[in-house]
Structure formats: C-alpha cells, structure tokens
C-alpha cells in the first residue's frame, strides 16, 4: 500500500468586513515551516474622503513550529 505524501504547502484567500470601516482582502501562503501573509484594507467609512479610497497594505512572516508540540501532552483536569 502506498502512503500519500502529506501536503505542507497551502494557500488561503479571503476577505473580512470591519463594520462601517473597511473591507480587508487577505491571502496567506504556508510553505514548509513558514507562513507569509498579505493583506490590503480599503476604507469605506466617513474617512474615505481623507484617505481618497487608498488602502493600507500589510505583510506578515511567521515561523511555524517554534514551540514544542503540546497536543501530545495530557492536561490534568480536576475531578469534582
């Protein structure tokens, strides 16, 4: 039986709406142990005139796996 290779590279796309303020478009790319995120927010509030509709780009870089895997550790729960 051939075991399928685990896929570690992933792509996420989406959008958020911050009520009466902004629309945020987001994307994230997970490559091995690194996550790179890109987002851009567009102002839709009364401040639209001041910003002239220009949004703000953001980029994040995250290293995944810095902390040890805590899922394998048992957590003691008190009994009542």
C-alpha gyration radius of the chain: 20
Q: In 3-state terms, the chain is what percent helix, strand and coil (to 5)?
A: 5, 45, 50
- Tens of pLDDT, residues 34-78: 999 999 998 888 877 777 767 889 999 998 776 666 666 666 777
For residue 5, pLDDT beyond 60 = yes
Q: CA-to-CA distance for 41 and 35, rounded, in angstroms?
A: 20
Read off the pTM: 0.63
Domain count, the chain: 1
Range of the domain at 28: 1-80
């Amino acid at each position: 039986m051939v075991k399928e290779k685990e896929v570690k590279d992933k792509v996420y796309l989406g959008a958020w709406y911050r009520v009466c303020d902004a629309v945020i478009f987001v994307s994230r790319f997970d490559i091995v142990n690194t996550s790179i995120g890109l987002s851009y927010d567009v102002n839709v509030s009364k401040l639209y005139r001041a910003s002239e509709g220009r949004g703000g780009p953001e980029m994040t870089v995250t290293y995944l796996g810095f902390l040890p895997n805590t899922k394998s550790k048992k957590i003691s729960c008190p009994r009542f």
